[in-house]
Amino acid sequence: MKQLLPFLLLLPLASHAQIGGRAAFPFLTLPPSAQTAALGGMTASARSNDPTQFFASPALLNADMDHVATVSYVSYVSDIKQSTAAYAFNTEKRGRFGLGLTYLSYGSLQSYDAAGNSLGTFSVNEYALAAADSYTKGKFTAGITAKLAVSGIAGNRAVGLAGDAGILYKPSAKDFTVGFVVKNAGYMLAPYTAAAREPLPLDVQLGTTIKPEHMPLRITLTAHHLHKWNIQYLDPNARGTLDANNVEVKPSFNFGDNLARHFTAAAELLLGKGLSLRAGYNHLQARELRLDNVGGGAGFSFGAMVRISQFQLDYTYATLQAAGSSNYFTLSRNLDSFLKKKE
């Protein structure tokens, strides 16, 4: 635990220099698995046996993940696809580790010169290599993650180094946790151009997960972007409404809407060890992705988990907007039986 304290103290300080503005490597904020997507796209407190959860917070690494390998796939709109692989294992002296790779491809795009002549096609892709380490002592688990992020457009590259630091508090044997995590604090090592260095998509989250006793229901609530209060976007070109004097009134800051944008909520119905149903809501996503006067279900996600033999399949359907949605598939298996055969 002592090795982690310098990182846990320093990473929150980085948030003061990265508030607002554009951010590089926004793909680092995408949910890497079906389970995270079903929880509203983020979580700081929901533990499970899925090792991709360490992408959400390194403090979520736990014994149920040991020797579990996971692959995840999501199809967004058009040709945009994301794949993620993760594995977790424990050591007696150096803590519990998680290793992962997430890869995002935007497909092939057409290229043209200034005169409009076709130059063929080019590819756009991004990926991040991640390694996490966590330690548990008493009721607390603390962890850190180091991520190398790379973005490529038509042979050009941008490189960034990001870090996450998380703490999870589990006060008893009951199903109740509180988690805090600082995500994507780091630096753009090599921008596309020297004058285009941008901050990384920093986020500070606080969440809790609770399962009421004698109820087959687990509830997760996550507060995000705690380092920045105003995350409400007001389009300067949006048309306002006309008042009694026929004067246009532009949209203005709304306290309640801005507050709600800081929260995601999710519930999981536990129907047994081999089956569960999930549903989540992300108000920020709902407001940012909705079409004019048409919500289209944006911000809502619905998923399920099924265990068959030694395999676990998670699926989530997440609504982006009326124009499209995304389908997440995650397959997991514990490799203990393979490892024991080799021994």
163's CB contacts (< 8 A; 6+ apart) are 7, 11, 144, 145, 146, 147, 184, 185, 186
pLDDT in the model for residue 172: 79
Using the 8-state DSSP alphabet, how is residue 56 labeled?
Answer: T
Contact between 179 and 57 (Cβ < 8 Å) = yes
Interatomic CA distance for residues 207 and 114, integer angstroms: 50
pLDDT above 90 coverage of the chain, percent = 57
Structural domains of the chain, ranges and CATH numbers in brackets: 2-19+27-114+121-342 (2.40.160.40)
Q: Each residue of 67-105: b (16+ CB within 10 Å) or e? A: bbbbbbbbebeeeeebebbbbbbbeeeebbbbbbebbbe
pLDDT in the model for residue 170: 93
pLDDT tens readout for residues 207-229: 999 999 889 999 999 999 999 99
With tokens 């945009």, the residue in question is: 80
Interatomic CA distance for residues 52 and 223, integer angstroms: 20
Interatomic CA distance for residues 175 and 47, integer angstroms: 10
Q: Quickly list DSSP for 257-303.
A: HHHHTTEEEEEEEE-STTEEEEEEEEHHHHHHHPBTTB-TTTTEEEE
Which residues of the chain fall below pLDDT 50? 1-21
Measuring CA to CA, which residue among 127, 129, 144, 159 is closest to residue 24?
159
Average pLDDT of the chain to the nearest whole number: 85
pLDDT tens readout for residues 22-70: 688 999 999 999 999 999 999 999 999 999 999 999 999 999 999 999 9
Contact between 238 and 251 (Cβ < 8 Å) = yes
Measuring CA to CA, which residue among 123, 153, 166, 151 is closest to residue 27?
151
Interatomic CA distance for residues 46 and 38, integer angstroms: 11
pLDDT in the model for residue 92: 79
Helices (H) and strands (E) in the chain, counts: 5, 16
The pair of three-digit structure tokens given for residue 323, joined into one six-digit string: 């124009």
Specify the amino acid at residue 142: A
